[in-house]
Amino acid sequence: MSNEASPGAGTATSPEGIPAGAEPSNIASYIDHTLLKPEASAAEILKVCAEAAEYRFKSVCVNPVWVKTVKKALKGSGVLTCSVVGFPLGATPSDVKAFEARGAVLDGADEIDMVINIADARASDKGALVDDIKAVAEAVHGGEAILKVIIETALLDDDQKVLACEAAVEAGADFVKTSTGFNGGGATVEDVALMRRTVGPRIGVKASGGVRSLADAQAMIAAGATRIGASSGIAIVKGEQGSSAY
């Protein structure tokens, strides 16, 4: 399980209303600097790695084919390598997700963000969700990596979001995550707060999709997020407005 601090909704704030630990000087440490476009080139991937090392982001998150490249580029930087599994639809058999996760970890991924079987969540089939997540969790944890579970909040109602989060906890996930950024809406403060209430203080909550500014990121952290997935990380750190959909 993740040992990352996981404050709940209602995180303490400064007199200026900034969540504790989420001051502009520290916000980069929350951010998974992300490039998941299928057309991303090697040059673009290396640029993202250089940016992550410069700004001290928490990780670089890429598709599995780029894990070796990212791991090599980030060597000695202190920035983690993150990859995705069953992405972006989640409609892949669990054993295939586990195989993909195991390969990414062997290639150097420190963290894996998997997509659940969204149809199971919409059918309220908690047992199937637990089995799906647990298969990947065992593969990821066997390589001493961290598992984040994407529940794709835009496609679920609140009861289904709660069910998916409960399944992730039961299956041994280290984080729950709002969105892929590829299937409609992204993170909302309300969803992050709901997810934090559901999972409690012991595991992480990652807000991703549509987080484009420092204010956006701080609002997600105040609601209970301990990680931010964004391709607008530099804009966030600089206090500017990003334009990326993710």
**Catalytic residue numbers, as ranges:** 113, 177, 206
Report which of 187, 231, 238, 180 is spatially closest to residue 27, judged by C-alpha positions.
238
Phi/psi region, residue 61 (left: phi>0; alpha: psi -120 to 50; beta: rest), is beta
The residue whose two tokens read 């598992």 is: 147
Determine whether 6 is exposed, middle or buried from the number of CB atoms within 10 Å of its CB (0-12, 13-18, 19+): buried
Report which of 184, 153, 204 is spatially closest to residue 246, judged by C-alpha positions.
184
User: β-strand 59-62 against 227-230: which pairing, if any?
Assistant: unpaired
Determine whether 33 is exposed, middle or buried from the number of CB atoms within 10 Å of its CB (0-12, 13-18, 19+): buried
